[in-house]
Structure 1
Amino acid sequence: MFGWLEQLADGLVYQVFKLDANDHLAEALHFFIYDSIKIILLLILVIFFMGLVNSFFPVERVKNYLTSHNLFGFEYLFASLFGVVTPFCSCSSVPLFIGFVRGGISLGVTFTFLITSPLVNEVAIGLFIGLFGIKTTLIYVSTGILLGTISGFILQKLKLESLLTPWVQDLMKEDRNLDNHFLPVKISFSKRLKSIFKEALIIIKGVLPFVIIGIAMGSFMHGYIPEGFFETYLQKDNWFAVPIATLLAVPMYSNASGMLPVLQVLVSKGVPLGTAIAFMMGVVGLSLPEAMLLKKVMSFKLIAIFFSVVSICIIISGYLFNIFL
């Protein structure tokens, strides 16, 4: 499907820029041109398609449904699935976290959404399919959903409400029965398309810098880091590789779209897929910028517990990926 793009990258690198095929710069530039166009095209297609879906499936409706129905324990799974269809990074999920808690949704269910939303969303799924195929994508999505569901369930059982900041606890004490239910409004399809297009542009503008940075990092790694470099430290036989990759990821920050080009290069350089995915999950789902934002709504102790539970789940997922893939 992207054969024309390969020819375009070849033409630009070897004919227009006249670089030698064995040159490190040529390899890096070829990777950057090819992956930039490929991922941006996938990005536009997926975001616009999911805009159509989300226009008929608004956030407020799900929030009200989770608040007003007894779901017999399945609310964690529903919150995780809701996280999949919302294209938020870990930092932009925090305002929704506050809205969920204030709306009466349990802390565990809210954590489930906070974990899954940046980790697995329609943008990441579309790009993942393009880069790794349907089988790997299905396993990744299933793992992400289970990770969010199980983490949220564990965090709920720990009864951590007292570790929320006084500001959030004050919000929770306010009247939760305000009439904020979803009211269906008839909107013409042409108006919906205009709204979807505007929202898609906003999302693309927000995601694009991370994508370009991720592709640039991937290009440098692809062109200049020698084969076998990562295998030395993150090989499958090293049982500490997955925890090391997860811990190394925490100081970094990006979204799933920006990390996928890096993930692609790590795998091509010999890093086992499970270890590489654990690294990506750590960058996307756990980051220092996210911790700073969460400080507004959580105590340091709660942030530490949250990061620890999610880290353990990510590490387990990484090991399982390495075993079965």
Structure 2
Amino acid sequence: MLRNVAVLALDGAHAFELGVFCEVFGIDRSQDALPGYDFALVSATGDSVPTRHGFEVRAQHGPERLAAADLVCVPAYDLTVRQPPFLVEQLRAAADRGAQVVSICTGAFLLGEAGLLDGRRCTTHWRYADELARRHPLARVESDVLYVDEGRVITGAGTAAGVDTCLHLVRREHGSAVANAVARRMVAPPHRDGGQRQYRERPLPQGRTGSLAPVLAWIEANLDRELTVPAMAHRAHLSPRTFARRFRQETGTTPLQWLTGQRVLAAQHHLESTGDPVAAIAHRTGFGTVDNLRHHFARRLGTTPQAYRRTFAAPPDGTP
């Protein structure tokens, strides 16, 4: 059972991610019959550290405090700031003696430096996933999840996914009732559907100049039609085989995979910006049925159309 929690205040720390750990594990909720923790904020020097936001955070403990921790929390930090090697060694030592280690966002990079990601599944913010994989090739980086639980090592994705990560840990250690109560105190959902895929930036068509550019624009304008490869090839005045070959050369994927991606993008747009029924959106985007739309939505984004709309749809009155 986790009782003793140490949170690293790193040079260049991101305040939100640091605050998530402090919120979940650093507040006494015993009056609500919830678990309490022996909480400590730790820095490399046991003194103030600058955050990336222009203010400092004062930590009352140095890295030796990690020796007593059951749980060591590593928040996000500015990757251009090199953390002291002895802090990495202390983190590795804590893990070696059996402490639980959890990171949020770029905090995973410090776990990687300590060798704690080697051979393990892990995650970070989707923007940094490729860089994490490059720096730590033995890590099995997953960019489309909110968190990864590998037993003694848990890694969370970017920013708000830190809340999901911490609530998952609370749920695992204390059960759903406790995690739900903590979530209510934080005015946060105890569990979110889907993963990071639904939050990725969606590239918009930009001034294509390739030989298939007019065909791609036509397809995007006619997603509600039954679009087969022969039909698309006919539009391009090519044989289906030649069309498929050129299509992969220009887009890096097959015609049907690209078409499905465009239909999902269009469905996302309609779910965000309209109140139209999901059945109407399925028809308008060429999926035909709600079941077909739901199937491809889940495969591409890891969530359902209804859950996506609840997360991203603008309020009816347009207020934020």
TM-score (norm 1): 0.22
Asked which structure has the greater RCO (Cα within 8 Å, sep 6+), the reply is: 1
- Pick the structure with more helix per residue: 1
TM-score (norm 2): 0.22
